[in-house]
Structures are given as structure tokens and as C-alpha cells.
Structure 1
Amino acid sequence: MAGELVVLVNPAARGGRTLRLLDPVVRRLRAGDRPVSVIVGTSAQDSLERACTAVAEEPGALVAFGGDGLVHLAVQAVAGTDVPLGIIPAGTGNDVAAALGIPRRDLLAAADIVAAGRTRVVDAARIGEDEWFAGVVACGFDSRVNERANEMTGPPGTAKYLLAMVRELRSFVPVPFTITVDGEVVEQEAMMVAVGNTDSYGGGMRVCPGAVPDDGLLDVLVVGRIPKGAFLRTFPRVYRGTHLGHPAVTVRRARTVTLEAPGIVAYADGERIAPLPLTLTVHPGALRVLAPV
């Protein structure tokens, strides 16, 4: 793989603590006199505009130095183009990187994968006409927890998410969803719905454990109406992917999914997207990634 590597940096990743690791990563990428440039945007919109400008110049790769949120942003710039996406997983969850076989915690090993230049072609999916995602779209209980956590000022880190989950569970009631899967309409009350191009979100929660990023399909997981106590006992099983054995859990595969529900906001790759209804469509082979093959 020839050409310049453009590194897109999230200065806030892990509270800004990973910026000190940027220099050794850039040095590793520059081994062999490879040209490397760095983009640090002043905001998400500024970062996206800079990334799109860089991709228009057809560099060797756009490399996301950050977590799933930055990967999501970088995908907006490279999906549907011939410019590969590299990932240096410097965020908290790093689920998209893990799904592609990129080490979650070893930045220099990830840099070596980028430098090696092996390209894998995988799917990406569109939300409506304007937004791409590479990992998982989630809505229902988990997105309500995210909404609540985003309104809280503390405590820091995962403790805030856990507190938001406890508070949300007190008032949560099953949501009436209308789910259209490749033209077939299903109406049911559900605790949550996840649509996965890859298998995990939230730092290793294997919500769609059978999803693979290059099969041309999306996995549609529905957790139907169950008592709160049973839901709370079942939810931790998502880290092992064993929740699929619960009778309230169903999984279907589809190319196009439309989700409708009142008062529900969808999150994709951990990023807030928009209230439902939304239509998700897989685009086979829309994304080139630098990953082990």
C-alpha cells in the first residue's frame, strides 16, 4: 500500500490520556520513511470536514486514532471510496477494532497492522441516506440509558453508566416496536432492539454474537417483553453472548430493517443518531479496512 497515511486524532479519547501515546504510534507508522500527517479537529464537524478533504486527495489510508466514536466519524469519510480505513484503538470500548481482529489495547501492534497495508473488504450500513455505521445500532432500554447518562454530570466513567442504568430500570416499561425486516412487518413490545453489522458494543457486550462484517447481512436482535428482574439477570449474559438462549430473545438476518417506536432514540457505534423511525440498509463491500487477513 503506497501513499500518505492521514491520522485522524480524537484529543479527548480516554479523557485525553492517550495523546501522549500518539508520538510513538506516528513514529512506528513512519518507519521506512512513510509519509504521515495528523489531523486534530476542533469539533466533530470540523474533524469530519478535514477527514473528507483528506480522503478526496486519495491518501494511502485514513487512520482513526481513537475509539468507536472516531471510527464512526472516519467511516463517514471513507465508506464507498477506495481509501482504506486504519484503526488505532485508543478509545474506551474499541468494539469495531476488535471485530476486525485489531488488538484493543496494544496501540503499537495496531500501528504495525496499519503499516503492513493488508486490506480487507467488509460491509457497512446506512441509516437513511445520510449516515453510515460499521458496528451496532441500539435502541430501547440501552439507548434510554445512554440518553439518561448523557444528561448526568457524574460520577465519572462507567460508574455514571451503571447509575443511569439503575435509574432507568426503575421507570422503564417495554416499548411498542414496529420492525420491518426485508419487507416483513413485526409488531411487538420489546425491552431493546439491536441491529449489528459486527457483534459487540459498549466495550465487549456481545449483543449480536453471530454477526460478521462481511456476510452482506445485518443481525436483528430483539429482547421481547420480560419482567424487570429477569431482564436484569439476563443482561450481564450479553458479555459472553449467551443471552441468545433466553426464550424472549430472537435473532433474524436481513438486508434492510426499519425500526419504529415512540420516544426512542437510536445510537450507532455508541454515537447518538436520531429518534426513530429509521431505516438501516447494508451495503456489501462498502468499506476497505486495514486489518489482519
Structure 2
Amino acid sequence: MSSPPREVALVTNPLAGRGRGARAAAAALPTLRAAGVRVRSLTGGDADETLQLARAAVAEGVDALVVCGGDGLVHLGAQVVAGTDTPLGVIPAGTGNDAARSLGLDQRDDAAAAVAAARVVAAGRTRRIDVAETAGRRFVTVLAAGFDARVNERANQMRWPRGQMRYNLATLTELRVFRPLPYVLELDGTVLRTDAMLVAVGNGPAFGGGLRITEGARIDDGLLDVVIIEPITKTDLVRTYPKLFRGTHVHHPAYRHHRVRQVTVAAPGIVAYADGERIAPLPLTITVEPSALTVLVP
């Protein structure tokens, strides 16, 4: 338990969740101010400017960095405060909100949820969680390194349609051409060679708005959860997809699960994504940083 913050920097992505970011910030601000919290509102023109504004506010000594948006904004906040004593607060207002879900925050899309999250910030209760690191970037949820990453990459190259439909179309397009890939993984020094549909490295259990791909992963156990889905038919992949929301895909015979402190993932033609953000092409080495991030929690 830490003391309630006196001043916070509130970073907002007004476009998050098709405008939910702006609406959530408007609902949260009066609650924070009523609790006696001074608020610096920060909104950059792009991710780089937002990152610089957040870093400047933390350097000037705000008591907490609070992000109002989705997993992408949580990802940005982790780059700023992981490895420091400045806590990160989250007001969920994105499409997926998987990081916020792992912290036990209200996921409803309404003003009441934003007010509840603001009260969590004002109360000042903290918890330390792990982050994962790769290619000089920290991430909080899951790194995608297979079929799912190819869908993200294809969707980012499309100009139409917008929103979730873009990802639906990218999924259908990628499904027609995707083939299992040859992977080489080094799991805490042990080399594994296998063909797979995807490899996911989880700090937390879910990505993509509640897809529990790394079911069982804990954000404070000092370990990474590496999930491998070995080759399955496209029909089987489509049938298995709904099970990801319940975490019951773990019973599929093609499912493999390893817990490690470090993993190197190599496969041809894959650009990895983490927290929904484009990271870098494989190969990548991912390590865990135990208890590196202080977060504000209910």
C-alpha cells in the first residue's frame, strides 16, 4: 500500500476504442480532481511525441503516470516507468484492454467504469508485476510470433476497411495462404526445433481482447509462458479459435506449453507483435524482468 498520489500525468489516446479514450478521460477527470489529485493532461500528436511528454512528466516528479486507452497505451507507459518507482495507472478505454483485465480493472465500456478506474488511481494502492523485454522494448501482455502476427502485419498494410473488420478480413486472407512454419526455439538454453502454426510468449495470459492464448500465465511469477501450436488443419484452427476465449484450447493435442526465464524465437517471414504493437522481425530473444513495474490496482 502506498500513499494516494498528489499529482498524476494523464496520458490519453483520444482515438482509442473509436473515441472511448476521450470519453473515458472526460469521465475520470472530475473523480480525480474531487479526490484532491492534480492532473496534467497529456495528448501527443503521435506515439513518439506522447512518449516524450510522458517521460518529461515522470522526470519532473509526478506521483503516477496514468494512461487512458488500450493495450498500446499501456505498452507506451511501460517504456516510461518500468524499472522505476513511479507507478502506472490504467483507465481502460481500448478495444482489447488485456493488460487492464490482468490487473482486475472494470472492463465495461461506460462512464461508470472510467470513474471506478479513477478511484483506483486516487486510492494509491500498488502492486509490482513482471514485464518482458525484447529488442529494447518492454511488454506487459503477450508477444505474437506466428499466424496471429501475420494477421497483424497484413492488417497494418490495409487501408480499408477500418476497425475490427480490417482484422477479420486480414484473418480470412491470411488463413487461405498460411502454412506451418519451421521454428527454432531456445528455452532457457535448451534448443527445440518444430513446425508450428504459432508461437506466443506471454507475460500475462491474454491478447486480442480476451484470447487466453497463454492460459495460466501469471504477471508476477518471474516467468514467461511459451505456447506452441503445432500444425493443425485450417478447419481445426477455425474450430479451436472460440476455445481461446475460455482457455480450453489447452486440451488440444497440438498445444505445447513451457515456462522459462528466457526464450529465443526464430522463424522465417514473421514480424513479432507485443501488446498489439509492431516490435521487430524474428529472431528475437525475450527475457523476463521480475517485479519491474509498479501498477495501481483495486
TM > 0.5? yes
1:147 aligns with 2:150: no
**SS state of the match for residue 222, structure 2?**
coil
1:37 aligns with 2:40: yes
Q: Which residue does 1:10 correspond to in 2?
A: 13
Deviates more, 1:11-20 or 1:182-191: 11-20
Match of 2:127 among 108, 115, 120: 120
**SS state of the match for residue 13, structure 1?**
coil
Query: What percentage of residue pairs aligned between the two structures are identical?
Result: 53
Equivalenced residue count is 291
Q: Which residue does 2:162 correspond to in 1?
A: 156
Q: Distance in 2 between matches of 1:121 and 1:136?
A: 18
Q: Which residue does 1:286 correspond to in 2?
A: 292
**SS state of the match for residue 75, structure 2?**
helix
Matched residue type, 1:40:
T
1:82 aligns with 2:85: yes
Q: Distance in 1 between matches of 2:84 and 2:155?
A: 35
Q: Which residue does 2:102 correspond to in 1?
A: 99
C-alpha RMSD of the superposition: 1.1
Q: Which residue does 2:29 correspond to in 1?
A: 26
Matched residue type, 1:50:
L
- Following TM superposition, by how much is the alpha carbon of 1:116 offset from its aligned partner in structure 2, in angstroms? 0.9
- Following TM superposition, by how much is the alpha carbon of 1:209 offset from its aligned partner in structure 2, in angstroms? 1.2
Q: Give the TM-score of the pair, scaled to structure 1.
A: 0.97
Q: Distance in 2 between matches of 1:141 and 1:192?
A: 5
Q: Which residue does 2:271 correspond to in 1?
A: 265
Deviation by residue 1:168-194 (Cα, 9 ceiling, x = unmatched): 111100011111111111011100011
Q: Distance in 1 between matches of 2:24 and 2:171?
A: 32
**SS state of the match for residue 229, structure 1?**
helix
Q: Give the TM-score of the pair, scaled to structure 2.
A: 0.95
- Following TM superposition, by how much is the alpha carbon of 1:155 offset from its aligned partner in structure 2, in angstroms? 2.5
Structure 1 runs (4+) deviating above 4 angstroms are none
Q: Which residue does 1:57 correspond to in 2?
A: 60
Matched residue type, 2:124:
G
Map 1:242-261 → 2, pairs under 5 A:
242-261=248-267
- Following TM superposition, by how much is the alpha carbon of 1:57 offset from its aligned partner in structure 2, in angstroms? 2.1
- Following TM superposition, by how much is the alpha carbon of 1:17 offset from its aligned partner in structure 2, in angstroms? 4.4
**SS state of the match for residue 14, structure 1?**
coil
- Following TM superposition, by how much is the alpha carbon of 1:14 offset from its aligned partner in structure 2, in angstroms? 1.8
Deviation by residue 1:8-66 (Cα, 9 ceiling, x = unmatched): 11121122344133222111111232211111011100111111111112311000000
**SS state of the match for residue 208, structure 2?**
coil
